[in-house]
Amino acid sequence: MEIGERAQVLAEMVRNDVVESVHHGHVVGLDATGATAVRRGDPQVRLFARSSLKPVQAVAMLRAGLDLDAELLALACASHSGEDAHLDGVARILAGAGLVESALQNTPDLPLDATAARRAAGPSSLRQNCSGKHAGMLATCVAAGWDPATYRDPDHPLQRAIRTGVGELTGDDPAPVAVDGCGAPLFSCTLAGLARAFATIATAGPGTPEGRVAEAIRRHPWWLGGTGRTVTRLVEGVPGLVAKDGAEGVFAAALPDGRAVAVKVLDGSARPVPVVVAATLRALGVDAPVLDEVGRVDVLGHGTPVGEVRAAA
């Protein structure tokens, strides 16, 4: 099924009481039993979850032998902002594996954080937001005795292990496979499968690979995103939440009791994502002040709020 089929309105951008823009897409919310409790569009739509899949990939890396402390494990799950400590953390992952920055094969870029980007000498693989994941992949290769020079090859043992992990956690066949913006293989899943994977991670027992990823994200949300980032604020503000944002309007989150959310905005815009995620978490019974903060996106006229992005009912 094409991703645009059966999409529904998720949010509207309202300016001076006039609906100016509309965002379509798909949403699924699972209750604590795994049943679908909230839906708009088609939960079975197949998509590339982009960076929202990173915690799932990290579980597979732990299974293959990766061993990082919670702080650096959160960074391996991150789309980090490129602040100084993020870059130092990536360097620590590499150093622990006996590697240096030149081993990274992710696409050079500037930091996501505007202040860090202004200070940067130029794009680099270290500054690119996926460098923590790539450093984790390299460290996994070293731990498992695999060739780190070819770690991005879809047929590499690392990527085969990740593909198996994605399939197990989502319950989906991870095909088709594409190339992510950072250069790593990108495995597909359904929206419902993404929610299931996050529910499995969020409910896992301590010390398991899934439980270690959940603990890392909960204890170190700044390492997962950065200063002021929506994903960081949500994990900080909703007790027990495990969450991850992704490019092209994707977001996934889950709670320790198994309630889970997955969102795909059809036009790829990040603008309505916080509003839709907050509304879906509320619909699942989550009550936290951060949902009011994150879930309000103002529309400005001459620098003054004149409207808002609002979620569909």
pLDDT interval class at 313 (50, 70, 90): confident
DSSP codes, the chain: --TTTT-EEEEEEEETTEEEEEEEEEEEEE-TTS-EEEEES-TT-EEE-GGGGHHHHHHHHHHTT----HHHHHHHT------HHHHHHHHHHHHHTT--GGG--SPPB--SSHHHHHH-SS-BTTTSTTHHHHHHHHHHHHHHT--GGGTTSTTSHHHHHHHHHHHHHH-S---SEEE-TTSSEEEEEEHHHHHHHHHHHHTPPTTSHHHHHHHHHHH-HHHHS-TT-HHHHHHHHSTT-EEEEETTTEEEEE-TTS-EEEEEETT--STTHHHHHHHHHHHTT---HHHHHHT-EEEEETTEEEEEEEE--
Percent residues over pLDDT 90 in the chain = 98
Any idea which fold 8-311 has? Beta-lactamase (3.40.710)
Instruction: Look at residue 309 and tell me whether its pLDDT is greater than 80.
Output: yes
User: What is the mean predicted confidence (pLDDT) over 274-283?
Assistant: 98
pLDDT tens-digit series, residues 233-261 = 999 999 999 999 999 999 999 999 999 99
- State the chain's mean pLDDT as an integer: 98
Q: What's the whole-number mean pLDDT along residues 220-232? A: 98
For range 269-276, the mean pLDDT: 98
CB 270 within 8 A of CB 11: no
The pTM assigned to this predicted structure is: 0.97
Write down the pLDDT at residue 1: 52
Predicted confidence (pLDDT) per residue in 152-189, tens digit: 999 999 999 999 999 999 999 999 999 999 999 999 99
Q: pLDDT tens-digit profile of 61-96?
A: 999 999 999 999 999 999 999 999 999 999 999 999
The pLDDT value given to residue 17: 97
Write down the pLDDT at residue 302: 98
Q: What is the pLDDT of residue 2?
A: 79
Would you say residue 304 has pLDDT above 60? yes
**Is pLDDT at 228 greater than 70 in this prediction?**
yes
Q: What is the pLDDT of residues 19-49, one digit of tens each?
A: 999 999 999 999 999 999 999 999 999 999 9
